Structure 1
């Protein structure tokens, strides 16, 4: 960059070429006409060629001036754009890792509603069931289903869950009392206890050891819709399917289970915009279930 021209001469050159007058350029840049004239001469001395033809009450670009103007104008535009990006408020990015079912059936609509009033917060959503993304620093907050203890993480309870069986309308037609489930194909999830529900329904029956085991509650819900068996499911995830008529509750009995939590590494407390979103989720969770 040893051959750069005096940089303060370039806006004067561009303005004079664009406006066709040293006087007009001076007014646009809030300078005197003599200052514009001086800067143009300095630039011409630097490049070693005339950039303008001076005519009576007019200036006209030379062939060299026209070629140089294209380069100068492009450089000034790029500098202006880059400066505008730096001046603009930076959007903060929030990476959320959520269990697939709560992400699709509960979280997505809430994120959309929040972003309408907080456009400077950019959301990136991914699905996972374990804690690895949070512990590895790949996610800022997570939504998980579990007990009160979350080693190494902060936790805020969203809402407690009630669980109950759901199945397709076709399967429900053959279920008349909870005892009928002893002969049914039961879909299982590692965090949901059939034995606990059986006890609430007044049945002494052990935890089933057969039947498909689903790590993803959303897949289990879709399997139930397809008639593959009866699923024990958390109310917040099952009710949208029930409301649509895709699944039915064959029995009224339900029971308390675990809770959904927002979990995050302790460092999240240093990010006010993220903490504001967490507090909003917790504050409104009971109204949004």
Structure 2
């Protein structure tokens, strides 16, 4: 086989993903000069420049971007195959999960799936985007949103409804019974995927999208802040259930609006594997059963 040095491939992938030789060196437990030497070696072997060297970072050339897109999934498959051999009899599914859906839903399903398919083991990580799936670092991603994710396939798990929640202390400030007009005196917590304006309209308020108030990238952190009395948060049923059951959050208003959906997202080559396809279909059936129940 006519292959470049494997250590140089690993160094190139790490530097491309991290955006610097220094960060790649930290990850690989090498010196920056060793990373640079390995990348120069693969550039010499290929006969092309893979990076443009700038003052404090490195940027992929067009050839580097094309090469990364080809080798990254291959390296990820080598890693997965090696892990599987270290655990005889098991397949290893690398799952990248949005933090909130991981903590508030998927971990509650894990024991049931391991009982249903004991030959599958999991490597779990969290990410707020589908970049690990696209890069071949994860086999399946679980997230909230709407397709398309370019180059990936999305399989809907469940549609969501969106509504406000708040702590019991803040709920008391909304009146008895609560009035939507009283929201004007309370902080509104914000999330990029959950807009207030559609809910305002459903509740009969002519009010624009709020431009201030704490903005959270992590939906679970936002719900924790709401439970701590920081403000009123918009959320979806799947994530709110544990808080509502515990009484740490209340749903003060009946109005709700249609939201996005939770999806299993994966590359076509991953879905082509029967055991991964079986996992996705099991998740879909599990989510439907919860909705029906």
TM-score band, normalised by shorter chain: 0.5 to 0.7
Aligned Cα RMSD in Å? 1.6
- 2:206 equivalent among 193, 204, 208: 204
TM-score (ref. length: structure 2): 0.67
Tell whether 2:167 aligns with 1:168.
Answer: yes
Tell me which residue corresponds to 1:143: 142
- Counterpart in the other structure of 2:109: 110
Partner of 2:256: 254
Residues 231-280 of structure 1: CA deviation (Å, up to 9, x unaligned): 00011101210111000011111111111111001111332111101011
Q: Secondary structure at the match of 1:207?
A: coil
Distance of 1:198 and 1:286 partners within structure 2: 29
SS class of match (1:137): coil
C-alpha displacement of 1:149: 2.0
Q: Could you tell me how far 1:89 is from its partner in structure 2?
A: 5.3
Shift of 1:283: 2.0
Unaligned runs of 5+ in 2: 1-83
- Structure 1 consecutive aligned stretches of length 4 or more whose deviation exceeds 3 Å: none
Distance 1:205 1:247 in 2: 24
Over residues 129-171 of structure 1, what are the superposed CA-to-partner deviations in whole Å (9 max), with x where a residue is unaligned?
A: 1111111111100111111322211010111100111110000
Secondary structure of the residue that 1:205 maps to in structure 2?
A: coil
| Aligned positions of 1:274-289 closer than 5 A | 274-289=276-291
2:242 alignment partner in structure 1? 240
Deviation at 1:203, TM superposition (A): 1.0
The alpha-carbon deviation at position 178 of structure 1 amounts to 1.0
Separation in 2, partners of 1:149, 1:99: 17
Unaligned runs of 5+ in 1: 1-84
Listed one character per residue, the Cα deviations across residues 203-232 of structure 1 (whole Å, up to 9, x for unaligned) are 111110100000000000100011000000
Deviation per residue, 1:181-207 (Å, 9 max, x gap): 122100000000100111111111111
In the TM superposition, residue 111 of structure 1 has moved relative to its aligned partner by 1.8
* Aligned length, in residue pairs: 204
Q: Answer with 1 or 2: which has the greater Rg.
A: 1
Q: What is the CA-CA distance between 1:109 and the residue it aligns to?
A: 1.5
1:121-140 paired onto structure 2 within 5 Å? 121-140=120-139
How far residue 100 of structure 1 moved from its aligned partner, in angstroms, is 0.7
